[in-house]
Amino acid sequence: MVLKMSVADLEAFMRDEFPQVAQDFTVEAAAPMRLTLRLNVGERHLRPGGTVSGPAIFALADVGVYLAVLSMIGPQALAVTTNCSLDFMRKPVAGADLLADVRLLKLGRVLAVGDVLIRSDGAEAPAARASMTYSIPPARQG
C-alpha cells in the first residue's frame, strides 16, 4: 500500500477545497491506513469554560477520516459521511490543541470505515472516540 497523497498534498487539497476550515487543522503525519490530525484550537472552537465544543470534536474526527481516505484513493472531493458514532469521555484540557489518531479499518469499493481516538495534546487518556463511515462515489472514468 502506497499513499496517493502526501501530507503536503493533503494540506494543499484542504486549502483549495475547504478554505473556510483549512486553517483549523494541521496534518501531523500520514501513513498507509493511518493519519494524525491536529485541531489548532482557537477561540471559535471553545464553549464557556474553555472546553473544546462538541461540533469542533466532530469536525476533527470527520476531517481526519476524510483525509485518511483521500491519502489512499487520491483527491476525490465527493466522498460523503454517511454515519458517525461518537463517545465523549473526558473534558479536553483547556487551552490545549486536540490530536486525532485515525485508523482506516476498511477501504472498500463503496464504503470506508475509520476509527479515531482524540486526546488533548500532552494528555494520554482519550477525550473522545469516534467511528465514521464514508460513502465513496464510483470512480469517474477518464
- Residues of this chain that interact with a copy of itself (CB under 8 A) are 17-18, 20, 44, 47-48, 53-56, 58-59, 62, 80-90, 105-106, 108, 110-111, 113, 115, 117, 125-126, 129, 131, 133, 135
Closer Cβ to a copy of itself, 96 or 113, answer by number = 113
For residue 16, give the C-alpha cell.
483549495
User: How many degrees, rounded to 5, is the angle at CA 101 between CA 119 and CA 62?
Assistant: 95
Please check whether residue 3 is in contact with residue 31, taking contact to mean a CB–CB distance below 8 angstroms: yes
Alpha helix ranges (H) inside the chain: 7-17, 54-73
Q: Please state whether beta strands 98-107 and 34-39 pair in parallel, antiparallel, or not at all (unpaired).
A: antiparallel
Minimum CB separation of residue 27 from a copy of itself in Å reads: 18
Select 32 or 55, whichever has its Cβ closest to a copy of itself. Answer: 55
DSSP-derived pairing of the beta strands 34-39 and 80-88: unpaired
For residue 26, give the amino acid letter. Answer: T
Considering the complex, what minimum distance in angstroms separates the CB of residue 5 from a copy of itself? 19
Cβ closest to a copy of itself, residue 8 vs residue 89: 89
Residue 8 beta carbon to a copy of itself: minimum distance, rounded to whole angstroms:
21
Please report how close the Cβ of residue 9 comes to a copy of itself at its closest, in angstroms. Answer: 19
